[in-house]
């Protein structure tokens, strides 16, 4: 009998026996016995792929997790979604009197439901038939096709067999035996071959004879390689000791190189980055910044580029690694790789990072923006000499040298990070580098502190003479991350909900939804709590049981969407936030002290603006009352005062370091806080696509201001990007709404910029009254000059007339021949109004009496000239005597314009219209155009005569 003809029930018996056995040796022996007895044809792959489903790359993803699989099984069984069995499948995590011991284990819950419909008789399904059906399930393009396959499986199996099929679909058999043990029992070289190929089928086909050793295989372009891993250390001192006392590294002939760091953009932005070293009694050790992203491999074979990603699925130790072809990167990255990597065949392994094009820095992990990459592990080969010319056996130092030869840097797109060259060569004087050669533990400690301040993931130390080994975590590489040390602040939070667990915690609350208080008024208790994060690790089973027992009477089932959350909890109702039970009374709840990675991330799942990375419970605070938990405003202040972290004290030792802080941007340097927004509390109704809410909040807080997440009485400035949305409409009832450009202008100019009309998206009636002497009904300032952008914004505030006749009227009046026809009387009136304000605001006076004036300002239509005799003829005989007075200056309006521009009184001689050496009795009439003089006379009388501002000299 061949392997494929073997009944699946035989494999199920192996699974059941292995799961029940407690002896690891017996489990391995049973597996070996199965191979010898039922795989006589040595066609191992059909069976092994079912035993190690998480390593099978031949079959695509099923797209079925527990929730989707539950509804698919309900439809495959043809039962009502309101039936008890359907509800059991959907609510498989939840406990209760009717759930039994299977709660929390989806496969067992499904087996119970199927048992009442399938019975115990086997359907005789073979391994070959099962693999064919699973292939159809994975390739199914829609839900109907997948349900049809599940129906076929149900018809050909019993409940016990279906339970194991479900676990294969979920890729988690829970056999209690590691993949390492299975590989070792299958063939002594199986694990080594899989590590350099990630191809389970190839392993099964090449290693058919257990007694025949396989020549260690080199890596191969087109086949994903398990990356080398770094071992955790607790602190810099421990890392230094491990490097110092490490045994000499053994040369491994099959290990690929791990040499460089590259950043490649998803949309054309990013940088290549390579790594660093240190010398310790003759041993050079690489010390580098650990970047926070997704592990990625790029395989180049001529013009064919393939992308593989690593997914860490914690099935065994070390974690299982799955590589999935990422063809979606090809359109953005392939051309960059082809043009700038100068060898035809190579493998690059590294991290996929996010590049923020507006901030010109690497964004937080998980951000959805332009993508950059850093890559390691070049592999240089000739086209037809894949194994022979491989550089995988060379040291890190040698691989760095090769890297510099095969990669052409591309500024802003592709840069190499190596000591004293590449991106490090662009650093300005005194600016910290991304990598360096450390001489002692103090330098490592200092570098680690800088990465924490810069919100990087941590540091990595490597021996420069080391070789690269796939899937190795033996300590050749060491990593130090802030989450491994007690650096973050302990945060006291309140339990507001709970989640049922799985496995041995199935049917019981095993995780908690915790919240922060909304800051109450003085001498009062909090009335509302904001969802903050989900936490479950850190407590022993006994401690967890005590908490659950105390809160059990106050747990209330959350029947979403039939019922709403309690009114005293502010939540998002995001699917990842939604708890199984609520604590129905905050007064009866318990405070937990939680800690986490010191870096925070902007929250979309929870109601608080920020949530934690890798939160865990430090201790239970039975000594604190429910109302003593941390409030959300204090947490936000902590985050913004600590550069986006929960770190209250940036120092981990007694030494103070003054090395400049590294910024994640192209222009890096030390940042100084300036109190621009003192006494300012901002609320943002909406934000532009170019800026996140977090970045705007940070600008406000770092420059002395505060912000509010709600529109309340403490808000002094309501800010928005556009006049859309319900929050904008609500803000109009609060008062003025200011364009976010004002915040950016204040930040850029390092001062509180005066609120000009161009900054207002909405002006309240109260503000209009205050500004009525400064702006017109369209928010146009009488005294401030406008640029083109100001005019565009001004015109956007003017409602257009929909009356065609009105439009035609003004078109005929002002543009009869598509040319501007000036109504100069109207234009001169506007000029007079503006200059009147200029004089008044400059400290001068405007008078209607010629006898008390020191200056007579003449406004003329452009293109027309006038002399003193014409001016005299416009006045009475008595007034003409004052015109001839030496103390009265008669000047063109340009004098006033130039004085205003220069903010000082200018000499009147060059602007004077009074003839030189005129006698006071001189008077003579002239003929002139009455329309022009009328306009001039009206201008003279309306503008009147005024003394100049005090800044020019008090003349009156």
User: What residues are labeled active site?
Assistant: 290
Only one residue has tokens 């009265």, namely 888
Q: How far apart are CA 445 and CA 917, in angstroms?
A: 84
Q: Which residues of 106-129 are buried (b: 16+ CB within 10 A; e: fewer)?
A: bbbbbbbbbeeebeeebbebbbeb
Number of H helices, E strands in the chain: 29, 31
- Answer whether 738's CB lies under 8 Å from 719's CB: yes
Q: Could you give the count of Cα atoms lying within 13 Å of 777 in the half-sphere of its Cβ?
A: 2
Sequence-separated contacts (24+) of 442-448 with Cβ below 8 Å: 442/655, 443/278, 443/287, 444/236, 444/239, 444/240, 444/278, 444/287, 445/236, 445/237, 445/652, 445/653, 446/657, 446/659, 447/287, 447/289, 448/236, 448/480
The tokens for 216 are: 């260690």
Only one residue has tokens 């035993």, namely 51
Q: What strands lie across the sheet with 945-947, from one edge to the other?
A: 845-847, 945-947, 855-858, 889-892
- Answer whether 532's CB lies under 8 Å from 515's CB: yes
Closest alpha carbon to 236 in 459, 501, 560: 459
How many other C-beta atoms can be found within 10 angstroms of the C-beta atom of residue 683? 21
Q: How far apart are CA 947 and CA 955, in angstroms?
A: 6
Please enumerate in sequence order all residues whose Cβ is within 8 A of that of 37, keeping only pairs 6 or more positions apart, or say none: none
- Answer whether 511's CB lies under 8 Å from 547's CB: no
- One DSSP character per residue, 110-122 reads HHHHHHHHH-S--
Q: How far apart are CA 284 and CA 300, in angstroms?
A: 30
Strands 458-463 and 855-858: unpaired
Q: How far apart are CA 912 and CA 896, in angstroms?
A: 12
Burial class (CB in 10 A: 0-12, 13-18, 19+), 480: buried
Please enumerate in sequence order all residues whose Cβ is within 8 A of that of 335, keeping only pairs 6 or more positions apart, or say none: none
The tokens for 224 are: 């994903």
Classified as helix, coil or strand, 32 is helix
Which segments within 440-574 are labelled E, that is strand? 458-463, 477-480, 491-500, 509-517, 529-535, 555-557, 569-570
* Cis peptide leading into residue 561 (ω within 30°): yes
Q: How far apart are CA 356 and CA 272, in angstroms?
A: 15
* Residue 768 C-alpha from the chain's centroid: 39
Instruction: Provide the 8-state DSSP code for 267.
Output: S
Question: Could you give the angle at the alpha carbon of 756 between the alpha carbons of 753 and 757, nearest 5°?
Answer: 155
- Chain length of the chain: 956
Q: How far apart are CA 203 and CA 183, in angstroms?
A: 10
Q: Could you give the count of Cα atoms lying within 13 Å of 450 in the half-sphere of its Cβ?
A: 27
- Answer whether 237's CB lies under 8 Å from 374's CB: no
**What would you measure as the largest C-alpha separation in the chain, in angstroms?**
135
Q: How far apart are CA 676 and CA 700, in angstroms?
A: 8
How many other C-beta atoms can be found within 10 angstroms of the C-beta atom of residue 497? 27
């Amino acid at each position: 009998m061949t392997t494929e003809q073997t009944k699946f029930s035989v494999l199920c018996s192996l699974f059941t026996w292995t799961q029940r056995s407690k002896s690891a040796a017996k489990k391995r022996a049973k597996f070996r016995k199965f191979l010898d007895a039922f795989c006589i044809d040595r066609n191992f792959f059909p069976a092994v792929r079912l035993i190690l489903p998480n390593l099978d790359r031949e079959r695509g993803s099923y797209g079925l997790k527990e929730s989707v699989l539950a509804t698919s099984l309900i439809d495959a069984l043809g039962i009502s979604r309101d039936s008890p069995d359907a509800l059991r499948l959907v609510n498989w995590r939840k406990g209760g009197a009717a759930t039994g011991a299977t709660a929390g284990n989806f496969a067992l819950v499904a087996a119970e439901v199927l048992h009442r419909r399938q019975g115990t008789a086997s359907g005789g399904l073979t391994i070959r038939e099962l693999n064919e059906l699973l292939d159809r399930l994975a390739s199914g393009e829609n839900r109907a096709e997948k349900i049809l396959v599940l129906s076929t499986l149900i018809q050909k199996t019993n409940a016990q067999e279906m339970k194991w099929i479900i676990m294969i679909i979920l890729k988690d058999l829970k056999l209690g035996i590691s993949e390492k043990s299975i590989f070792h029992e299958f063939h002594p070289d199986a694990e080594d071959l899989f590590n350099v190929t990630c191809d389970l089928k190839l392993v099964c086909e090449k290693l058919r004879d257990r007694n025949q050793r396989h020549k260690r295989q080199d890596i191969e372009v087109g086949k994903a390689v398990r990356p080398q891993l770094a071992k955790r250390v607790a602190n810099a001192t421990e890392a230094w000791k491990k490097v110092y006392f490490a045994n000499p590294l053994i040369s491994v002939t099959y290990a690929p190189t791990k040499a460089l760091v590259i950043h490649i953009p998803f949309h054309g932005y990013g940088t290549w980055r390579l790594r660093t070293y240190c010398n310790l009694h003759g041993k050079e050790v690489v010390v580098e910044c650990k970047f926070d992203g997704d592990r990625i491999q790029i395989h180049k074979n001529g013009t064919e580029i393939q992308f593989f990603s690593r997914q860490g699925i914690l099935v065994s130790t070390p974690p299982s690694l799955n590589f999935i072809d990422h063809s979606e990167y090809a359109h953005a990255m392939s051309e960059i790789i082809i043009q700038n990597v100068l060898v035809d065949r190579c493998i690059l392994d590294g991290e996929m990072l996010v590049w923020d094009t507006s901030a010109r820095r690497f964004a937080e992990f998980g951000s959805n923006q332009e993508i950059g990459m850093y890559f390691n592990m070049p592999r240089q080969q000739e086209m037809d000499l894949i194994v022979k010319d491989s550089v995988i056996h060379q040291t890190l130092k040698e691989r760095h040298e090769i890297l510099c030869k095969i990669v052409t840097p591309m500024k802003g797109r592709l840069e190499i990070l190596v000591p004293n060259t590449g991106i490090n060569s662009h650093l300005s004087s005194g600016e910290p580098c991304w990598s360096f050669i450390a001489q002692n533990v103090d330098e490592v400690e200092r570098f680690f502190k800088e990465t924490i301040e810069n919100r990087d993931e941590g540091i990595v130390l490597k021996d420069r003479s080391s070789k690269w080994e796939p899937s190795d975590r033996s300590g050749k590489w060491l990593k130090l991350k802030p989450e491994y040390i007690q650096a973050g602040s302990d945060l006291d939070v309140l339990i507001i909900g709970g989640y049922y667990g799985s496995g041995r915690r199935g049917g019981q609350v095993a995780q908690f939804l915790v919240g922060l208080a909304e800051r109450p008024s003085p001498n009062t208790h909090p009335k509302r709590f904001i969802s903050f994060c989900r936490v479950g690790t850190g407590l022993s089973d006994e401690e967890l049981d005590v908490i659950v027992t105390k809160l059990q009477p106050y747990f209330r089932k959350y029947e979403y969407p039939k019922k709403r959350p309690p009114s005293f909890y502010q939540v998002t109702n995001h699917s990842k936030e939604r708890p199984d039970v609520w604590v129905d009374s905050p007064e009866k709840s318990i405070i937990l002290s939680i800690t986490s990675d010191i870096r925070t991330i902007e929250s979309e799942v929870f109601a608080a603006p920020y949530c934690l990375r890798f939160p865990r419970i430090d201790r239970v605070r039975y000594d604190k009352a429910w109302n003593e938990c941390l409030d959300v405003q204090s947490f936000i202040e902590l985050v913004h005062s600590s550069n986006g972290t929960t770190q209250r004290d940036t120092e981990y030792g007694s030494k103070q370091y003054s090395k400049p802080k590294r910024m994640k941007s192209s222009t890096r340097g030390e940042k100084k806080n300036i109190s621009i927004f003192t006494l300012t509390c901002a609320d943002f109704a909406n934000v532009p696509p170019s800026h996140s809410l977090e970045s705007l909040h940070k600008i406000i807080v770092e420059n002395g201001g505060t912000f509010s997440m709600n529109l309340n009485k403490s808000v002094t400035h309501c800010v928005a990007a556009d006049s859309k949305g319900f929050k904008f409409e609500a803000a109009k009832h609060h008062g003025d709404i200011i364009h976010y450009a004002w915040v950016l202008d204040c930040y850029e100019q390092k001062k509180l910029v005066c609120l000009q009309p161009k900054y207002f998206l909405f002006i309240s009636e109260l503000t209009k009254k205050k500004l009525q002497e400064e702006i017109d009904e369209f928010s146009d300032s009488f005294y401030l000059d406008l640029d083109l952008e100001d005019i565009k914004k001004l015109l956007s505030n003017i409602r257009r007339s929909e009356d065609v006749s009105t439009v035609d009227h003004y078109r005929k009046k002002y543009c009869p021949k598509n040319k501007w026809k000036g109504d100069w009387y109207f234009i001169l009136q506007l000029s007079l109004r503006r200059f009147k304000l200029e004089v008044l605001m400059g400290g001068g006076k405007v008078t209607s009496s010629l006898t008390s004036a020191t200056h007579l300002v003449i406004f003329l239509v452009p293109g027309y000239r006038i002399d003193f005799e014409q001016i005299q003829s416009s006045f009475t005989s008595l007034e003409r005597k004052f015109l001839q007075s030496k103390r009265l200056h008669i000047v063109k309006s340009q004098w006033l314009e130039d004085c205003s521009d220069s903010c000082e009184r200018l000499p009147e001689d060059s602007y004077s219209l009074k003839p030189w050496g005129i006698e006071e009795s001189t008077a003579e009439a002239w003929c002139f155009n009455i329309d022009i003089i009328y306009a001039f006379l009206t201008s003279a009388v309306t503008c009147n005569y005024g003394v100049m501002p005090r800044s020019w000299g008090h003349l009156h």
